[in-house]
Structure 1
């Protein structure tokens, strides 16, 4: 009797595993090539190391090399935001959100401005001195500068 219950339980677990397999098989694993870091054309830097990008978007690097204030912005769109966080920050969306909640709650900073669409972000970065953000490559315009990552 015990063996039958154990076998039934194992069968249920196996079927549950198979039910989720097709979903996970088609989820793409996006990478850094799916995101371009952009900045205002007046920013002197043309290249940034991945750690510098991480420091900027964690609010730890607040000034460009010419002492201008860094104005970093994020996207609300799920996949580009996830891809950026995974590739450059090393955090999930929830971890990044919680990081900024803690910073705001403790009074150590303000959460970054976020935009609903990549085109809104491009327009903001183009208009604001010192601004930096990230977008999918197909939304870059000549109004902003692409930052090369080292």
Structure 2
């Protein structure tokens, strides 16, 4: 089992690395009080392990659509999980009643618009899409 997970993670890293990985940023609304987050804090929010920002404010994650390069890159680099591991994770979380996956929004523009309008939301976009309506709280490398 561990060997399979390792293989899936390595395969995802190779795919993401070879697909011309984007400069990814985790964003919040420019009106949100949050100014910076660590990768583990972001992962906890997106994996339904936490629903709060470090300051105590409510945090609602917004995902890119399943199957997009940006989403796969985000989960591999931030949560250290391949797309296959993410599917298994959410299947287990839903089955046990411990959580639901984040809302999906199509594309960078959709994520940015929703996050910009809602100070309690957090998402991720390509760095080239940043504008004054959102604030980058984590640069993903």
TM-score w.r.t. the length of structure 2 is: 0.77
> 53, 56, 61: which is aligned to 1:67?
56
Unaligned segments of structure 2, at least 5 residues? 1-14
SS in 2 for 1:48: coil
Across the aligned residues of Structure 1 and Structure 2, the Cα RMSD in angstroms comes to: 2.2
Query: Which of the pair has the greater relative contact order for Cα pairs under 8 Å at 6+ separation?
Result: 2
Counterpart Cα distance in 2 of 1:58 and 1:119: 23
Tell me whether 1:51 sits opposite 2:3 in the alignment: no
Picking from 94, 103, 118, the partner of 2:93 is 103
1:45 match: secondary structure: coil
CA distance in 2 between counterparts of 1:129 and 1:100 reads 25
Among residues 77, 80, 88, which one is paired with 2:78 in the alignment?
Answer: 88
Count of equivalent residues: 124
Structure 1 residue runs of 5 or longer lacking an equivalent are 1-23
- The structure that has the greater radius of gyration is 1
